[in-house]
Structure 1
Amino acid sequence: MKTITIKGDVVSDATGKLFDWFDLDSIYPQKVKQAFDNLNGDDVEVIMTTNGGSVFSGQEIYDIIKNYSGKTTLKISGLVASIGTLISCAFDEVYISPVATFMIHNPTLGDVSGEKSDMEKAAQLLETVERTLISAYVSKTGMDESKISELMSKETFMTAQETVDNGFADGLIEENQTVSLVAGFNLNNSAFIEKLQKLKDKEESDLEIAEVKARLRLFELKEKTNDN
């Protein structure tokens, strides 16, 4: 069985490539598909930590994992929340670290604006996404839709044991099993800052060179003027 680790925000392919450029952790469809394609149908154990992100990217990742030919096992480490919980439902088996956290909530839309019809479309979209999530959760847990809806409305954080008791995980990771514990909330700020600093240094260096060339050019023009 092969093991891969995925962690970070769930984002679109375009955003994920930008995150890669800055050496930041992220989970996006193309990255997950490539990782699973490279497994060639072998059974796989995935270690995942994510605080969620893009609903539609999460749905795409769910399908990639759900349709994989080999056996898929998930080990939850740190935090799995929001759309990350949908992704977890795609695995054949799910195990959770005794110190991990699992969180489900109602979907949200950011930066919504417009007239009445726009608000109605936004509400309809949220209802559709919510039904999709509830359907996946019910399929995984066997819990009633009303109970799932209640947990989502309360933005429910679960301990590892509660995650197992509610059916989202099949068991706890035993002490003799190894799992890499990774951070869930913070981006790799040091790598991001280092990249920005290099860009800034290069821009300043290019500007200094351009200024020197301009001064030399001005000096040459003055010399020619004096010679005349």
Structure 2
Amino acid sequence: MKLSIRGPIIPSDYQMIYDWFGIDAVSPKKVQDFLDKIDPDNKEDIILEINSGGGSVFAASEIYALLKEHPNNVIAKVLGLAASAASFLMLGANSTLMTPTAQVMIHNASSMASGDYRDMDHTSSILKNTNLAIANAYKLKTGKSHEELLSMMDNETWLTAQQAKQIGLIDEIMFDNGDLTNSIVASANTPFSDGILPQAVIDKFRNEVLGMQLPNGPGQSSQLNNVVPNQTNKIAEPQQPKEEPKNMDLETLKNDHPQLFEQVKNLGYQEGITAENKRIQDIEDLQMPGNEELINKAKFEDKMQASDLAVAIIKAEKARGTNYLNNVNKDAAIINQVPGSNAPTDQNKDAQVANALDQALNNAQLEDQNALTNALEGALK
């Protein structure tokens, strides 16, 4: 079973933040979760693979205790670096091994502090006690005195695998066939980062992204900082008082994050143009003869949505149809009041002649041709 100790050693409540960013880190909770999953009947060795620049003293101390108390045999393997807090965390294992190219670094605990001379004296006292506590772990492993170990910590001591074995800090050098006389680590004087996120980043992420308030438990800011050898240590500037989290409104966004405000504004502007163009196009699709005035008003005056305009058009069409039927019924009532008359007689000339001839033949008492002629002429007049 392998347990990886890579990246900074952090408090448990920071683990989620490092995981969210995809940064390697280890906390007591992460180690505890790993150990809790081991079946009590499983007596397999736990291989602790270490490549860490250190981190929180108290988190490392908790992991040290978890490893010491576990019933399974724990073997620590320093694959690259066990510096600062990681240098005593590894001692929680039953045995410790190093690769020939790995290094161990031990130094004093450090912290940030602010206040008057009494606060500084108090912080100094805490740091000295922390150094004594760390030296206890080194003493149990090496058998050296507190004085000698504290002196090594004062001088920030870097140890190769061979040197660490000589003072009893580790038990074995990996891949050593007995002929290794010197172990030199490449770029020993090259600065490196301990990988610990600044406290300001933790606070900002908690307050603005997760909406949580960072706990202010004792010792949260204490950590073993990895100081590069042959570098002059700078005096840390006093910490500024923490500001209360601000409610993120539009004005705060504009003042505190002007670039983000401009991005949001431009995005909103573009989305507004797209939405307005779609609204106009949807209204154009509802064009119907007789509704031109209603449609133009919806576009530019009332700023109606197409769905609302469609309802208005239906109502207008219904009203227009109702008015048309009312006008038809009104006109029909007026026509019905006009009195009727007989159909006009046939004015055809041939019909008149035929009727006159028939009447003349029936009524006249004609005895000769002249009388018939006169009757016909009379009928034709």
**1:10 aligned counterpart, secondary structure:** coil
So what's the TM-score if we normalise by structure 2? 0.49
Q: Distance in 2 between matches of 1:35 and 1:206?
A: 43
Quick one: which of 85, 88, 95 aligns to 1:86? 88
1:51 alignment partner AA = G
* Cα deviation, residue 31, structure 1: 0.7
* Cα deviation, residue 16, structure 1: 2.1
* Cα deviation, residue 224, structure 1: 4.2
* Cα deviation, residue 210, structure 1: 3.8
Match of 1:139 in 2: 140
Match of 1:225 in 2: 301
Alignment of 1:200-215 (within 5 A): 210-215=268-273
Q: Distance in 2 between matches of 1:57 and 1:227?
A: 62
* Cα deviation, residue 215, structure 1: 3.0
Size of the alignment, in residue pairs? 205
Deviation digits for residues 41-96 of structure 1 (CA, Å, limit 9, x no counterpart): 43211111111111111111111111111111100111100010110111110011
Match of 1:27 in 2: 26
So what's the TM-score if we normalise by structure 1? 0.80
Alignment of 1:153-164 (within 5 A): 153-164=154-165
Q: Distance in 1 between matches of 2:121 and 2:39?
A: 45
CA change 1:147–1:51 in 2 (3 A) is same
Match of 2:36 in 1: 37
Task: Name the structure, 1 or 2, with higher relative contact order (CA <8 Å, separation 6+).
Answer: 1
CA change 1:23–1:204 in 2 (3 A) is farther
Match of 1:199 in 2: none
Structure 2 alignment gaps of length 5 or more? 178-191, 196-260, 281-297, 305-381
RMSD: 2.9
- Larger gyration radius, structure 1 or structure 2: 2
Match of 2:316 in 1: none
Match of 2:330 in 1: none
Deviation digits for residues 139-180 of structure 1 (CA, Å, limit 9, x no counterpart): 11111111111110100000100011111100111269xxxx
Structure 1 alignment gaps of length 5 or more? 177-183, 188-202
Q: Percent identity?
A: 25
Alignment of 1:43-62 (within 5 A): 43-62=45-64
Q: Distance in 1 between matches of 2:139 and 2:6?
A: 25
Match of 1:173 in 2: 174
CA change 1:213–1:11 in 2 (3 A) is same
* Cα deviation, residue 116, structure 1: 2.0
CA change 1:107–1:224 in 2 (3 A) is same
Q: Distance in 2 between matches of 1:19 and 1:159?
A: 30
Q: Distance in 1 between matches of 2:2 and 2:173?
A: 18
Match of 1:127 in 2: 128
CA change 1:227–1:53 in 2 (3 A) is closer
1:94 alignment partner AA = T
